[in-house]
Structure 1
């Protein structure tokens, strides 16, 4: 097993900008993100830091704006590789595929924001590419949404996506569990669709 830690879009926009993360609160998720980064460094697991770019006229993530900048706690930590992206999935129009191949990575651990958007897009695509995927649920998060299709709280969005990930696409764990697995040199186990459904019938 050759892990890489993928730190997605931990940018000021989610903390002091126009798109604040609500659940889990950033007071929980940010320390877990940095703990995972520190544990990865100790374990010699490569860390890939990702930053989302939007046009200068965008209300969020406008390149060069304060909201676009990486959170200082992430920016001050050393990364093995840095990626700037313009789409939700970290794979789209970036060199992530080539970097994974060049570094013989077979397992991606995902932390950062947002659970249901960039994390989800990346997790689904990584799973479809045959990679083993892990998601640290206490090191990610979501805001609430309301639009013509309905309304969902941040907790609902984060919980539902985490449940779906664990049913097939990624092993979902907390940061303590992941650090222990890294220390022991073992993989985290995901569930499956059939058993996830069967438990609802008991």
Structure 2
């Protein structure tokens, strides 16, 4: 039986863009690449799943329900027939219907993109592999931000490279958007 694949677009929401409550480095560029993937999957009539994070923490500063910031960004707006999974945790499988949906639709391969690479993309990709999905991570359709650890700053570009490199080791095949869309 042929692997059935789906596109998983994680948390490309307004708060991660300029003017949002938690802007990421390169979010606009990543969203344009995610849009290319989305258009490719739509053209091929392949399943598309949008993940939308809704914060349920009292002290949260972004993804607050009923705000403009929580809305899925216009570059990847879902259309009728595309699944939307709402979540409250970094891992898109945790306390959602994502796994049941994928099993019900006999999907075995996930093409993953989204935000934040170091948090929700990472935890979702690792969980997907743990659930025996074949994963392809589209690195240039993901974005993250500068981090700090033990008083030292880590630039977003280094965070991005490090997390993608770690996921490429076992959890996924990593490609860029043009490689994937052109079938390279």
Superposed CA RMSD: 1.6
Look up the match of 1:37. 38
Contact 2:140 2:176 in 1 (8 A): yes
Closer/same/farther in 2, CA of residues 78 and 178 from structure 1, 3 Å limit: farther
How far 1:67 moved relative to its partner? 1.1
Structure 1, unaligned runs of 5 or more: 182-187, 189-202
Look up the match of 1:165. 167
What's the secondary structure of 2:170's corresponding residue? helix
Closer/same/farther in 2, CA of residues 78 and 29 from structure 1, 3 Å limit: farther
Q: How far apart, in 1, do the equivalents of 2:131 and 2:86 lie?
A: 21
Look up the match of 1:195. none
Q: How far apart, in 2, do the equivalents of 1:11 and 1:93 lie?
A: 20
Look up the match of 2:50. 49
Look up the match of 2:65. 63
Q: How far apart, in 1, do the equivalents of 2:85 and 2:138 lie?
A: 20
Closer/same/farther in 2, CA of residues 123 and 76 from structure 1, 3 Å limit: closer
How far 1:148 moved relative to its partner? 3.3
TM-score, normalisation: structure 2: 0.92
How far 1:13 moved relative to its partner? 0.5
Count of residues in Structure 1 that have an aligned counterpart in Structure 2: 180
How far 1:106 moved relative to its partner? 0.6
State yes or no: 1:179 paired with 2:181. yes
TM-score, normalisation: structure 1: 0.84
Q: How far apart, in 1, do the equivalents of 2:136 and 2:20 lie?
A: 28
Structure 2, unaligned runs of 5 or more: none
Closer/same/farther in 2, CA of residues 32 and 77 from structure 1, 3 Å limit: farther
Matches within 5 A, 1:6-25: 6-15=8-17, 16-22=19-25, 25=26
